[in-house]
Amino acid sequence: MKSKVVVFPKPGEVRLDEVEVPEPRAEQVLTRTLLTGVSTGTELRVLCGMEGLEFPLVPGYENLGEIIATGKGVDLPTGSLVFLPGSLETGPYARKWGGQVEYAVADVADLTPVPDGCDPFIALHTRVLSVAVHGMNRAALQAGEVVAIVGQGLIGNLALQVARARGAEVIAVDRLVDRLKVAAQAGAHHTVNTAEEDMQQAVRRLSNGGVDVAVEATGVADLADAVARLVRPMPWDPPYPRRARVLLLGSYPRSLTFSYKPTLFTNEPDIIPSRSWTAEETTDSMKLLASGIVRPDVLDHRITDIDDAPDTYADLQEQRLTRAVFRWRHST
């Protein structure tokens, strides 16, 4: 079977091609893609050649499709909608997840079934939401705590919604007015526009001296130290409160640097990197989406035909939109 695929032939270039896709083996399924999403962090870094990967390759780790064939040992019926991170079969091309494909072969263990009645567009956000859920779990965010989330792109906004659902007080920080408007719609209690006011002063004013959790979600390495200084200081004398946390939820192309004073010594925060997700967090994310607790549709997004992929990647690189979703020809 022929499958259309998105290919990065070399850094900075995007084109479409076709590859041959085999029948699924035991414990595998063959799916027909309806929608795919673009990771604005890692996937764009791959396109820019910043990951040190072998080119040409097939990118993408957000694929929503319909099962059309199954191998032995698979209980899911054909016609089932599933989320999968990518295809195991990308022809002659290297696979960096391999999600941007028309037909995918995947192990059944890697599938997340879509609940009945859940909009495919909403379910497509399972993976990116699981990144935010994993981060909030790593930070052990609790109800009643105050969290500042710096960067209101795709992951930052989803992290905002997860934090709000857990009962935290949320301060959304960005330099773009449109993103802050969306953050308010998504449930932020406060917004800070860094193009108009000093981030440190504004966040400390809103949080009565500093937040319990500061989240860096821009992916800009130079901002990490400033974000870490948003947390409340650790007192020298008892009673000692729970330690403040700094969550690194961005995707960074280079090393991060923190000043010893005042960032680390004065505040004594836990610095927490957040890498990916777990299977349980993926399942939890699908439930949050299906229930409507998290609404990715509030984000600025564009749904475009897959044939427009080269132009769409260019728009993402120029930050002309927050979220891009490709519609394959099988979409309804």
Say which CATH number the domain at 216 has: 3.40.50.720
Distance CA 281, CA 258 (A): 30
Distance CA 106, CA 30 (A): 7
148 & 243 share domain: yes
| Residue 75, domain CATH | 3.90.180.10
Domain annotation covers residue 185: yes
- DSSP annotation of 123 reads H
pLDDT band, very low/low/confident/very high, at 330 (cuts 50, 70, 90) = low
Domain annotation covers residue 285: no
152 & 264 share domain: yes
pLDDT band, very low/low/confident/very high, at 51 (cuts 50, 70, 90) = confident
Question: pLDDT digit string (tens) for 155-200?
Answer: 999 999 999 999 999 999 999 999 999 999 999 999 999 999 999 9
Determine which helix (DSSP H) or strand (DSSP E) holds 193, and give its type and residue range: strand 190-193
224 & 248 share domain: yes
Domain annotation covers residue 286: no
136 & 268 share domain: yes
160 & 101 share domain: no
Mean pLDDT across 55-65: 97
Domain annotation covers residue 289: no
For the entire predicted model, the pTM comes to 0.93
Question: pLDDT digit string (tens) for 229-247?
Answer: 999 999 999 999 999 999 9
Mean pLDDT across 98-119: 97
The whole-number pLDDT of residue 276 equals 87
Question: pLDDT digit string (tens) for 250-294?
Answer: 988 889 999 999 899 999 999 999 988 999 999 999 999 999 999
Tokens 């998504």: give the residue: 186
- Whether the Cβ atoms of residue 322 and residue 154 lie closer than 8 Å to each other: yes
Which residues 6+ apart lie within 8 Å of 116 measured at CB? none
81 & 92 share domain: yes
pLDDT at 62 over 50: yes
76 & 165 share domain: no
What CA–CA distances, in Å, run from 60 to 12, 36, 78, 84, 95?
Answer: 15, 8, 24, 10, 9
Q: Residue 312 sits in which domain range? A: 2-125+294-327
pLDDT at 146 over 70: yes
The whole-number pLDDT of residue 191 equals 98
What CA–CA distances, in Å, run from 296 to 60, 100, 222, 264, 308?
Answer: 18, 20, 28, 35, 22
Which percentage of the chain shows pLDDT scores above 90?
Answer: 91
73 & 143 share domain: no
252 & 158 share domain: yes
pLDDT at 331 over 80: no
Domain annotation covers residue 278: no
Determine which helix (DSSP H) or strand (DSSP E) holds 161, and give its type and residue range: helix 154-165
Domain annotation covers residue 57: yes
The whole-number pLDDT of residue 289 equals 98
When divided into structural domains, the chain yields a total of 2
56 & 153 share domain: no
Domain annotation covers residue 283: no
Average of per-residue pLDDT values in the chain: 95
174 & 260 share domain: yes
Domain annotation covers residue 61: yes
The whole-number pLDDT of residue 332 equals 47
138 & 212 share domain: yes
